[in-house]
Amino acid sequence: MKFPPFTTEHDIFRKSVRDFCEKEIKPHVDEWEREGIFPREIFTEMGKLGFLGIRFPEKYGGSGLDWWYTACFIEELPRSMCAGVPLSIMAHTDMATPIINAIGTEEQKQEYLAPAIKGEKIAAICITEPGAGSDVAGIRTTAKKVGNEYVINGSKTFITNGTRADFLMMAAKTKSEARHEGISLFLFPTDVKGYSVTRKLDKLGNRSSDTAELAFEDCRIPARCLLGEENMGFLYAMKNFQGERLVAALSATAGSQLAMEETFRYVHEREAFGKPLAKFQVVRHKFADMATRIEACRALTYHSVNLYNDGIECTKEVSMAKIFGAEMSQFVVDTCLQLHGGYGYIEEYYICRAYRDIRLMPIGGGATEVMKEIVSRLMGV
């Protein structure tokens, strides 16, 4: 068996994603980075091209494909020449919506998943709170059942797509005194009275992706918005995180590859002491170091994709890939910026943006410290 099992069909799909990123996103990135958001039409256009429902059933507008098509999709998104737009897209496709397909009712899939696949509704995953990030069990937002409704009170922060999401896949406490065993998940429509975007956050990087703080004040949603079983939300969320972290590892690998390629061109054009930078041994050795780490990360990540695609338990491997991808990508981008010298510190060069963007990798989707705790526990340490 060829590994990774990319076929001609995968290659055609990959090219279609790259073409879209280079033609429809890349030319506008500077403007969208300044504005802190990109047009909603990007979602609808990607929906028309089948990019937002790769693994979802055709019944809901998806393509019913495997994880290797997702790998192609994620690996080409960096061709946008920013991480912000891809982050918003990935939050929609691989963080907020997969769990609807996994445990949602038929009614929920028709109401939320189908329009999300078309890009008609924008989704956000809504778990983190001002006092609870990595400690998901510590969330304080409550959902109290009153008749045939849930009344939600609390706040959330660091919510990608938060300023314009049409619905949230959110976690709230249905047993306020409990921790893990008291969390439930809900599909929350953002046109509900009492809901508000309290602040759009100004970030170090990923600037074209909108990030918000949200408030819920006596928000009433129908009981049918409960996703899965009550008080089972923590387990659902932990399972959903595996796909999110796998996507992060794929993104880190592809983004690092792109940064290295851009720097490779730069060191062949830039001269110092009468010759191109690429002619210096110290520079060549830095590329050997970067390429080695990228390939090692790609191998570990593809191994994890293979296991996950086949339905094999791989929490340890996915967590390892997230750890290694985060550390590798920071090393690569930092090395690339150093090779650019003073120009790497100037905003007009891509590597400057990449340096700001990549710092999120060891924080978002599960901090590296949490990933290491997961791996060590699964090792029996």
**What are the angstrom distances between the C-alpha of 60 and each of 53, 55, 57, 70, 311?**
9, 11, 6, 17, 22
Backbone torsion region of residue 92, taken as left when φ is above 0, otherwise alpha when ψ lies between -120 and 50, otherwise beta = alpha
Query: Helix, strand or coil for residue 129?
Result: strand
**At 2, phi and psi to the nearest 5?**
-70, 135
Q: What is the pLDDT of residue 1?
A: 60
CATH superfamily of 124-233: Butyryl-CoA Dehydrogenase, subunit A, domain 2 (2.40.110.10)
CATH number of 234-378: 1.20.140.10, 2.60.120.10, 3.40.50.970, 1.10.486.10? 1.20.140.10
Q: Which residues, in sequence order, are CB contacts of 199 under 8 Å at separation 6+?
A: 212, 213
Q: How many residues does the chain have?
A: 381
- pLDDT (tens digit per residue) in 179-232: 889 999 999 999 999 999 999 999 999 999 999 999 999 999 999 999 999 999
What is the per-residue pLDDT across 287-318, written as a single tens digit (0 to 9) for each? 999 999 999 999 999 999 999 999 999 999 99
Q: Where are the domains of the chain?
A: 8-122, 124-233, 234-378
Q: Provide the annotated active-site residues.
A: 244
Q: Is the dihedral of CA 345, 347, 352, 356 positive or negative?
A: positive
The runs of H, that is alpha helices, within 214-314 are 233-269, 281-309
Q: Please compute the mean of the pLDDT values over residues 157-176 and round it to a whole number.
A: 96
CA gap 71, 224 in Å, rounded: 33
54's tokens:
């790769």
Task: Look at residue 132 in the predicted model and tell me its pLDDT.
Answer: 86
CATH code, residues 8-122: 1.10.540.10
